[in-house]
């Protein structure tokens, strides 16, 4: 029996939560390993922006339905490749439960921009299934189960709003949540293919292997301390290839420089293409070139993770 199995279990058949997006307040990509994967060193931070996720068991089949303002016109592709579907399948294959489920997702997180939308949905599905399960996994077991789904999924399967991550995202150290801050997202109508971003980084760093940094955990307890460490290795290879991204970074940083708030954090989100600023107040709107589909989204960092609610 897992550590969580002795808790009182809900009698309902449907679990709902919000799959909150994430940003990386710093992101270092370490050397490529023999199997082709990279280890990372990062500070994960959840946002209030999220997708609505509902999981129902005992539905008499297996289904996934997605809708919402952030759903691209072409949809999300084959269901077998969807991370939420893969999460449910992995949970069922690993635990032997459930036999059937239906998943409903209302998309609000921009797709493919480095905000972890698909990973957040997968983490939410795992949390929902674990809340409904007759013999739930422990928190540690759930994180281990999430690891094969991608580097963001383990964190997004936890109940933590801020955490250090290492390895392939499965090694996590939860940190105390910080006071909420305004977040401005500059969202483009395209994403940066993550395999390409890693390949560009490998080519750039071939002669200088990257090593893990020595972190002062105390510096991660304040926004001022985090701002001093804020960095994303992908920026050096993504921004020069995407002038719109480079311009967004420059404009947001110029806007921050005019503000007395000296601990504003402006970075590329994941491997891109979304650019974000975390500050004490929303940064002023940017003047983007005419004819673009750039969209500004305003949200906040999350000081808590939305709980899973169960009903019939």
Give catalytic status of residue 22 as yes or no. Answer: yes
- Indicate which residue of 22, 51, 52, 121 is catalytic: 22
DSSP output for 251-269: HHHHHHHTSS-TT-EEEE-
Q: Buried (b) or exposed (e) across 258-297, using 16+ Cβ within 10 A?
A: eeeeebbbbbbbbbbbbbbbbbeeebeebebeeeeeeeeb
Nearest to 116 by CA among 37, 46, 27: 46
Residue 224 to residue 222: CA distance in whole angstroms: 5
Residue 232 to residue 135: CA distance in whole angstroms: 40
Give catalytic status of residue 107 as yes or no. Answer: no
Terminus-to-terminus CA distance in the chain, angstroms? Answer: 26
Place of tokens 């983490």: 123
Four-residue CA torsion sign, 77, 150, 296, 68: positive
- Indicate which residue of 52, 121, 152, 233 is catalytic: 152
Write out the two tokens for 218. Answer: 């105390």
Where helices occur in the chain by DSSP H, the ranges are: 83-95, 117-132, 139-146, 153-156, 194-204, 223-229, 235-238, 243-257
Q: Annotated catalytic sites, by residue?
A: 22, 152
């Amino acid at each position: 029996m897992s550590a969580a199995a002795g808790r009182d279990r809900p009698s309902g058949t449907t679990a709902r939560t919000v799959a909150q997006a994430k940003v990386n307040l710093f992101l270092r990509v370490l050397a490529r390993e023999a199997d082709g994967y990279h280890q990372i060193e990062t500070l994960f931070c959840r946002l209030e922006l999220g997708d609505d996720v509902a999981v129902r068991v005992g539905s008499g089949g297996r289904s996934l339905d997605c809708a919402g303002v952030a759903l691209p016109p072409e949809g999300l592709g084959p269901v077998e490749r969807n991370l939420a579907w893969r999460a449910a399948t992995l949970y069922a294959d690993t635990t032997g439960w459930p036999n059937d489920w239906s998943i409903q997702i209302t998309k609000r997180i921009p797709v493919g921009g480095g905000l972890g939308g698909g990973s957040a949905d997968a983490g939410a599905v795992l949390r929902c299934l674990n809340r409904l399960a007759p013999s739930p996994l422990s928190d540690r077991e759930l994180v281990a189960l999430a690891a094969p789904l991608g580097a963001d999924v383990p964190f997004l399967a936890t109940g933590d709003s801020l955490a250090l991550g290492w390895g392939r995202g499965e090694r996590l150290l939860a940190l105390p949540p910080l006071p909420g801050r305004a977040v401005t997202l500059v969202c483009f109508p395209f994403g940066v293919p993550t395999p390409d971003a890693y390949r560009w980084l490998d080519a750039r760093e071939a002669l200088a292997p990257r090593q893990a940094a020595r972190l002062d955990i105390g510096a991660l307890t304040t926004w001022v301390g985090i701002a001093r460490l804020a960095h994303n290795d992908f920026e050096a290879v993504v921004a020069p290839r995407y002038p719109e991204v480079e311009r967004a970074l420059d404009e947001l940083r110029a806007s921050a420089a005019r503000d007395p708030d000296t601990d504003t954090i402006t970075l590329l989100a994941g491997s891109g293409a979304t650019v974000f600023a975390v500050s004490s107040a929303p940064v002023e709107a940017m003047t983007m070139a005419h004819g673009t589909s750039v969209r500004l989204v305003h949200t906040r960092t999350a000081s808590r993770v939305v709980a899973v609610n169960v009903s019939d």
